[in-house]
Structure 1
């Protein structure tokens, strides 16, 4: 599509939106309207950056030249199967499930790597995820990641009901 921004433009849109949001949060917290801890700001920022630069919705084009795939360096090849699994602007470009597809794919890759590592080198210890995970950690991570994804979809002109409309069209055809 000719009206769809390039990866570079998507990144610039996200950086600009993040800058405005960070400024607004800073002003609101200085006026005691909002209370954000430095840790929460860091979690949000990290998740937003990962969602913008490493896990963009355009990884469904990973068999081609995609900024997010390039940001992975030599590990970018790991996203080629994802691009084969998901058609561009399909399920991977939905507002709720789309971002989860990339997280699930990444989790599957990590599980495969950990499984292979445990098989090849059983004496190597793999760091565990600390339990329990606090909402004060999870909420900013989810918010940062999903906001980065939604800005991408908005720039692509994908409406929030995109996945639902496609699903309803398929049901009507049957």
Structure 2
């Protein structure tokens, strides 16, 4: 199986080729579009920070290292999902990482609200989480960029899209 560096090289090469194709077929003004930025950022996040190999609980993974001290937050994910199990499926695998990340962010937010309430002497909380509404095109571009980065990783690992539907020999 490819190393983390090889996975990253494959994804960056594909992103470069997609960028060249996009530049060849679009006017230069299209580069500043929010959906292009959303696609690119989510693709890079999926390549470097939120990869299928985060399911390796005990092993040093490049993506965990990039999280710095927060890399420890991915240890429970590695315990929950065995390597190349559900986390290495085409649809649910990327969703497990997004769901896990959302859960960790929510728990961190609840903790910070509690600390804030404690420091304020039990008064009313004034921390308000406001999630900006984004156009559908930007959200779709974000999901597409993230999923494409995950799928390239799975292809390099030899995981085919029909893996979940094939019967495994007993």
TM-score for the superposition, normalised by structure 1: 0.87
Report the alpha carbon displacement of residue 107 of structure 1 after superposing the two structures with TM. Answer: 0.4
Q: 1:130 corresponds to which residue?
A: 132
* 1:1-150 equivalence runs, <5 A: 4-30=1-27, 38-122=33-117, 123-131=125-133, 133-150=134-151
Report the alpha carbon displacement of residue 64 of structure 1 after superposing the two structures with TM. Answer: 1.1
TM-score for the superposition, normalised by structure 2: 0.88
Q: Counterparts of 2:135 and 2:58 in 1: how far apart (Å)?
A: 37
Report the alpha carbon displacement of residue 63 of structure 1 after superposing the two structures with TM. Answer: 2.4
Report the alpha carbon displacement of residue 71 of structure 1 after superposing the two structures with TM. Answer: 0.8
Answer yes or no: is the 8 Å Cα contact 1:47–1:145 preserved in 2: yes
Q: From the superposition, tell whether residues 29 and 75 of structure 1 become closer, same or farther in structure 2 (CA, over 3 Å).
A: same
Number of equivalent positions? 162
Q: Counterparts of 1:76 and 1:93 in 2: how far apart (Å)?
A: 20
Structure 2 gaps, min length 5: 118-124
Report the alpha carbon displacement of residue 125 of structure 1 after superposing the two structures with TM. Answer: 1.8
State the SS of the aligned residue for 1:162.
helix
State the SS of the aligned residue for 2:165.
helix
Structure 1 gaps, min length 5: none
User: What is the alpha-carbon root mean square deviation over aligned residues?
Assistant: 1.8
* 1:155-166 equivalence runs, <5 A: 155-165=156-166
